[in-house]
Structure 1
Amino acid sequence: MSRVTEDEVAKAVMAILKASTTGRATIQELVREIPNHLALSEEDLKQSETRPNEAIWEQQVRNITSHKASPGNAIYEGWLVAIPGGLALPGK
């Protein structure tokens, strides 16, 4: 099984936010919920080399905000919005 992509993580985030009453969530809330939406491989669960207290897939959640200026990114494309400490659907 291969690693999940940043796009797959972003789509899981969007699904979680669409199912929520507010359309907003903190990074911590998303990290708790994403394993219920994605099949994470052993590779995904390995410790990140650049963020020692996180698994690689958790880093990908934060990368949605970090890579917001890159075409194809969920924020760049207008599918998500960065909010203090988390992510939201546009207009939420």
Structure 2
Amino acid sequence: MNSKPNRITESKIGIAALRIMASRPSGEATVHRIKKEMPNYVNLTSEDREQSETRPNEEMWEQQVRNLKSHAATEGNIFCEGFADTPRKGVYKITTAGRSHLRGMGY
């Protein structure tokens, strides 16, 4: 998932995304909103802020936000585990299971 030790993991990005969704009255957040708020929820290193190798207009961590949906079939992913779903294109929504998961983590 992450071959550089100083890079944030996709798992941590997923938890932060759930926290962002949970902070919204509807439980929903656009990918744009998640990317805008993410730096308030995680510590991003200089490696996280490097330009993506496959998306020239994004930093590495921004690509990881998008990867949450594209890796939805991967065990441990917030979509695979049923913690979030996508009611509309570009919109993520926390589920009841996602809220329970965050509570269990102390959020």
Q: Do both proteins adopt the same fold according to a TM-score greater than 0.5, normalized to the shorter chain?
A: yes
Q: Deviations over 1:34-76 (max 9, x none)?
A: 0001000000000000111100000000000000011111100
Corresponding residue to 2:19 among 15, 19, 26: 15
Match of 1:52 among 53, 56, 79: 56
Q: Name the SS for the 2:21 alignment partner.
A: helix
Structure 2 partner of 1:63? 67
TM-score, normalisation: structure 1: 0.93
- How far apart, in 2, do the equivalents of 1:42 and 1:66 lie? 24
SS in 1 for 2:81: coil
Which structure would you say has the larger RCO, counting Cα contacts within 8 Å and 6 or more residues apart?
1
What residue is the counterpart of 2:100 in the other structure? none
TM-score (norm 2): 0.81
CA RMSD, aligned part only?
1.3
Structure whose alpha-carbon radius of gyration is higher:
2
Is there any run of 5+ residues in structure 1 with no aligned partner, and where? none
Percentage of pairs with the same residue: 41
Report the residue type matching 1:6 in the other structure.
Answer: E
Q: List structure 1 segments (4+ residues) > 3 angstroms apart after TM superposition.
A: none
Residue 88 of structure 1: aligned partner: 93
Corresponding residue of 2:102: none
Partner of 1:2: 6
Instruction: Kindly tell me the number of residue pairs found equivalent between the two proteins.
Output: 91
